[in-house]
Amino acid sequence: MEENQKELPVIARFEVHRRAYLAPDGTILRDLPDFATDQNLVVAIYRGMALARAFDLKAVSLQRTGRLGTYATSLGQEAVAVGIASAMRPEDVLLPSYRDNAALLWRGVTMEDILLFWGGDERGSRRSAPADDFPFCIPVGSQAPHAAGVAHAFKYRKQARVAVCILGDGATSKGDVWEAMNFAGVCKLPVLFVVNNNQWAISVPLRLQTASQTLAQKAIAAGFFGEQVDGNDVIAVRAAADEAIASARAGEGPRLIEAVTYRLGDHTTADDASRYRSTEEVQQRWKEEPIARLRNYLVSRMSWTKADEEKITTECEQKVTVAIERYLATGPRPPETMFDHLYARLPSAYAGQRREIGDPNA
């Protein structure tokens, strides 16, 4: 710092806090939030993460055998989506990225619908969960302005509802994300931005995306609170989400949660992560993964047994198997249905195309 700058008054200082409750081995780091002693809730959260992982593994198998399109797993990141979704109310609105299957499953979207979507079938966009929740967002970060718009509608209508937008770390490098955050801060909107910081934007590491020490601090420039949490600690994610959503619902404006986790798998089934990161790095990160961490907590504090574990494993596998059977049994859509749900009255040009493919009712 130049000498004359040292003499200038400091007009602002900022801090970013990090939240964590469970160490990788499941031991407790600090006083737990009240919900963490509710065994029914903790087991439900564990089941949600286990179901998401079982579903991901089967979905990858379907893709590898040509029965599903390109697919993005959440391997190692299940605590972020489940921790956030479990804190939401049904009337809140989720705006997910393409990696947030676990949140959709928690919100009631069927596995069959998710498989249809990734299989390229428009029927997968049917909402088997809260009708106002948004579908998967494929373009990176483009759901952030939508989230701000939804939250603006809530505020305009004086509704005690919150928009929850889940993004990846790479999305924070996008202009539309900053514009959404800036608008949310100025208008004090009821929206929670969740940054799933899995360290990689496809093959680009975090250090090449941003010079910021944290991603949470990006909220400060937009005029609201940003917090970093251990994204492999579902207790920390849920606790931060509880506070942030309650604050937004009470009219106190937006918040941002940076959940630091790690993408244990490839970016998608079209990616080969071994080309840009080492096996040793990934193996080291497996020691921090969220499901084993919560299992260790259940064993040490809630008398979780091998029988309990086997029951959940079997239950999840059976649910996934049934869903896959239903998906595979779903016949293809007639080609003329591609024109459905586009217009209240189909323009003549499209009506002609529909007749060309053999629909006499066009």
The number of residues making up the chain comes to 362
Which SS3 state, helix, strand or coil, does residue 167 take? Answer: strand
Question: Crossing angle of helices 306-329/111-118, nearest 10°?
Answer: 50
| Coil/strand/helix, residue 193 | strand
**294, 22 in Cβ contact below 8 A?**
yes
Q: Do β-strands 163-168 and 93-95 pair in parallel, antiparallel, or remain unpaired?
A: parallel
Q: Which residues, in sequence order, are CB contacts of 217 under 8 Å at separation 6+?
A: 14, 16, 226
CA dihedral 172, 174, 176, 180 (to 10 degrees): 20
List residues with catalytic annotation.
Answer: 263, 267, 276
Which 3-state string (H, E, C) describes 261-285?
Answer: CCCCCCCCCCCCHHHCCCHHHHHHH
Strand partners, 258: 195, 228
